Amino acid sequence: MPLLRPISLFSRSSQLSYHLRAPSNKRFFTPTVAAMGSESPKGSIKTYFDVSWEGPEIKVDDNGNFSSPGAVKQQSGRIKFALYDYKVPKTAENFRALCTGEKGFGYAGSKFHRIIPEFMLQGGDFTRGNGTGGKSIYGEKFGDENFDVKHKRPFLLSMANAGPNTNGSQFFITTAATSWLDGKHVVFGEVARDDLESKRIVKAIEATGSKNGAIQADCGTSGTVMGNGMESVFLGTLGSSRGQLTDKSSTSRRR
């Protein structure tokens, strides 16, 4: 399955596989062109996950500073994304269609199956739920579109894979700069740049993880996505919209 291969916390030069090892979190927004910068110009596709999870509460102030983990509680919210369809149109379209479920399958009801603090959150395995499954809208796998966008900061969306040209549906959200993944994993979007609530949710879900990627025993589920009005024990609704933005170790998948 697409899984980011665990990376040693002491050596970050390792490669990621469908199984993401070492650092791991999800959102929707309508940022301004200026706020999005050169990576997210007008015309970017916007998508979101409505998620629910149990874990430590995280707060964020107006300056984007996150609090230390608080009490464990049941939580829910929306993570907003902007997709780089002008950079990687095929990869972005795959994620968008899996968000809406318009092909008859997608992310609805799936979860983040691997979460490593200060690294990433990995999800997208909607067929098996353990990092060994998933599929793209083009078939089981599709090729690497390009590696133009680098893993230079947190809150980026990138494809998990099992090696070159093995992209399916599994993805990860970075929670730190992960430059060792450059040239191996396709970055295709980001958590809404100025959406602090979306980033707060990612950090809160990240707090349920561990160094080996397993969910902490006292945190229950790590986050679930529900889609198109379907009820699910996991995440809430999924969706996407096209249109202009207004003002505003290595990861791997298990085979």
Catalytic choice (21, 96, 113, 114): 114
In the annotation, is 161 catalytic? yes
Catalytic choice (172, 193, 235, 238): 172
Catalytic choice (161, 171, 200, 254): 161
Nearest to 172 by CA among 106, 221, 117, 123: 123
Catalytic choice (25, 75, 94, 122): 122
In the annotation, is 122 catalytic? yes
Catalytic choice (16, 83, 98, 181): 181
Residues with Cβ within 8 Å of 230's Cβ and at least 6 positions away in sequence, in order, are 108, 109
In the annotation, is 114 catalytic? yes
In the annotation, is 147 catalytic? no
Catalytic choice (12, 21, 185, 253): 185
Residues with Cβ within 8 Å of 89's Cβ and at least 6 positions away in sequence, in order, are 145
In the annotation, is 172 catalytic? yes
List the structure tokens of 146.
Answer: 């390009």
Which residues carry out catalysis?
114, 119, 122, 161, 172, 181, 185
